[in-house]
Amino acid sequence: RITALTGTVAIVTGASSGIGEATARRLAEHGATVAVVARRKDRLDELVAAIEADGGTALAVEADITDRAQAQAAVATVVQSFGRLDILVNNAGLMLLGPVLGADIDEWDRMIAINQQGLLHMTHAALPHLLAAAKDDLRGVADIVNVSSIAGRQAWPSFGVYAMTKFGVLGFTEALRQEVTKQQVRVGVLEPGAVVTELVSHNSQEVRDGLDATDDIPVRLQPDDIADSIAYMVTRPSHSSIAELWAMPTSQA
Ligand code: NDP
């Protein structure tokens, strides 16, 4: 067991699958108490049981963080339960692809709601607690990691609104970094390339067939690879801040 995060409390959103689940496990291995947030409570309960079987401490917090009140309540529950908050990983997200022409605008609204508004709700609720944790002498620093995407740096047809949400995360992250970094809250953005998760599964069969046809990524990253990147960002010494990390499969050009 690694102890870099012993005594800290972390929130990981979107921890019921994929990158969030792997990240929650990894932060717990580093000694953090981990609050796992998502809508699928059964999946969260399984994850908490697995983390605790492995000797860690975790709490399942069921919330739809597109709803501002639920996001605020999730943060409040964590702080009431554990008395502090050191790390927020804004990972929950949705990718619905397709042309702009004839698009179902509800799909756009759903992406903006989780990829941007959910992240903003959690950040706003968590920030006072992160600033407080950064002042005490446990680590002398606190962390926000925002999970953007390669689609927050590059855009392609059919990725329009998803790219818009992720490019936006980059701008917000850098503005917030400058706002709070001198108060020892590190704010960083992580931009993964292709990772094997459920992300694509929310698209229609037609969209998925189109991706399969154009895909040229023989070996994708696993969620654990991204968990490694996030763990790296939040375990730097307190004077060192990773403001941006672009993590790609070697086989993705
Ligand atoms: P998954 O679909 O496996 O995970 C998405 C997570 O977000 C789930 O845990 C889901 O939980 C949660 N979530 C969705 N909507 C809400 C909501 N309203 N409230 C709370 N939680 C919500 O995909 P990934 O693990 O791949 O995605 C994680 C992040 O990584 C996303 O931001 C994605 O954009 C980003 N990313 C992924 C890449 C990839 O190739 N997979 C590449 C680059 C970035 P639930 O449904 O239980 O609420």
pLDDT digits (tens, 9 = 90+) for 6-65: 999 999 999 999 999 999 999 999 999 999 999 999 999 999 999 999 999 999 999 999
Residues facing 194 on adjacent strands: none
Average pLDDT for 97-103: 97
Q: Indicate which atom in ligand 1 lies nearest the CA of residue 67.
A: 18
Listed by start position, the domains of the chain span: 9-247
Centre of ligand 1 from the C-alpha of residue 64, in Å: 12
Which of the four pLDDT bands, split at 50, 70 and 90, describes residue 1? Answer: low
Per this entry, what is the length of the chain? Answer: 253
Q: For ligand 1, say whether the CB of 24 is within 6 Å of any of its atoms.
A: no
Centre of ligand 1 from the C-alpha of residue 182, in Å: 30
Q: For ligand 1, say whether the CB of 94 is within 6 Å of any of its atoms.
A: yes
Cα distance between residue 24 and residue 42, in whole Å: 16
Annotated catalytic residue, options 19, 32, 162, 231: 162
Q: Indicate which atom in ligand 1 lies nearest the CA of residue 21.
A: 9
Residue identifier of the C-alpha nearest atom 17 of ligand 1: 64
What average pLDDT is seen over the chain?
97
Q: Indicate which atom in ligand 1 lies nearest the CA of residue 148.
A: 44
pTM equals: 0.98
Could you report the per-residue pLDDT of 205-240, keeping only the tens digit for each?
999 998 888 889 999 999 999 999 999 999 999 999
Could you report the per-residue pLDDT of 121-131, keeping only the tens digit for each?
999 999 999 99
232 is catalytic: no
Q: Where are the alpha helices (DSSP H) in the chain?
A: 18-29, 41-53, 68-82, 105-111, 119-135, 160-180, 205-214, 223-234
Average pLDDT for 169-182: 98
Cα distance between residue 93 and residue 60, in whole Å: 18
Instruction: Give me the architecture of the 9-247 domain, per CATH.
Output: 3-Layer(aba) Sandwich (3.40)
Centre of ligand 1 from the C-alpha of residue 183, in Å: 30
Q: For ligand 1, say whether the CB of 161 is within 6 Å of any of its atoms.
A: no
Q: For ligand 1, say whether the CB of 134 is within 6 Å of any of its atoms.
A: no
What percent of the chain is predicted at pLDDT more than 70?
99
Query: Closest Cα partner for 218 from 248, 246, 192, 250?
Result: 250
Centre of ligand 1 from the C-alpha of residue 175, in Å: 23
Query: Closest Cα partner for 225 from 250, 198, 200, 206?
Result: 250
Does residue 4 contact residue 31 with C-beta atoms inside 8 Å? yes
Query: Closest Cα partner for 11 from 135, 111, 112, 121?
Result: 121
